[in-house]
Amino acid sequence: MDLLKDIETLVVRGHIDAASNYPKDLSGKPGVREKVAEALEKGFSPQDILLNALISGMKIVGEKYEKNEIFVPEMLFSAKAMKNGLQQIRPLLVGDVSIRVGTVILGTVQGDMHDIGKNLVGMMLEGAGFEVIDLGINTPPDKFVAMARQHPDALIGMSALLTVTMKNMKAVIDSLRYNGLKNKVMIGGAPVTESFANEIGAEGYSINANQAVSLAKQLLSA
């Protein structure tokens, strides 16, 4: 348990690994990279590390940012540290999948640079056997539309972390429908809600990456 708390603290402090000089007082000391490896070696499950160290760490980062205790540069280091941890558990979450159950076109909407949650959703989907076409961050509606044209049976998955970029999800749905595309759409991200999904005409909303997998299965089988 202490090891998970240590990782959580290292995410909050933004200390990636022993080679990283940030923050100064942790320079040369083990960072998220080494501690996640140690946790895996000691038998902690990837899900436990994910929920109780990495995601919980980012939650604290958000709270500190809100209270003006940290600023964007510190948030960036924390995001890098978290991503490093995620990379290490990725092979364990994704596994070796040979049978594809469907395709999901995934992207963070236009104007939004947050991609940790989207990447996590992508990993979980891949782990469940989906082919994931990741359009990245700051994705304009046209890019979703072009990919949906090539994959008319694919599910579209959109992520937004900012209240100001949420509205761009509607722009994507409107654009898909305007172009006669019937791809189903699921959305998620911290400020997104079920009622917002209903309001903009998305077929599904998911609060987290695990639920996103069951929702994707449900939407593609219906």
**Binding residues for ligand B1M, per CB under 6 A?**
55, 58-59, 61-62, 65-66, 72, 75-76, 79, 111-118, 120-121, 157-159, 161-163, 186-191, 206, 208-209, 212
Question: In whole angstroms, how close is the CB of 51 to ligand B1M at the nearest point?
Answer: 9
Q: Which of 11, 5, 4, 7 is nearest to 116 (CA)?
A: 11
Question: In whole angstroms, how close is the CB of 210 to ligand B1M at the nearest point?
Answer: 7
Question: In whole angstroms, how close is the CB of 185 to ligand B1M at the nearest point?
Answer: 9
Nearer to ligand B1M, 39 or 160 (CB): 160
Cα 168 to Cα 212: distance, rounded to the nearest angstrom: 20
Strand order in the sheet with 155-159: 130-134, 102-108, 155-159, 185-188, 204-205
Nearer to ligand B1M, 39 or 116 (CB): 116
- With vertex at residue 202, the alpha carbon angle to CA 214 and CA 187, rounded to the nearest 5 degrees, is 55
Question: In whole angstroms, how close is the CB of 129 to ligand B1M at the nearest point?
Answer: 17
**DSSP single-letter state for residue 52:** I
Buried b (16+ CB within 10 A) or exposed e, 99-109: eebbbbbbbbb
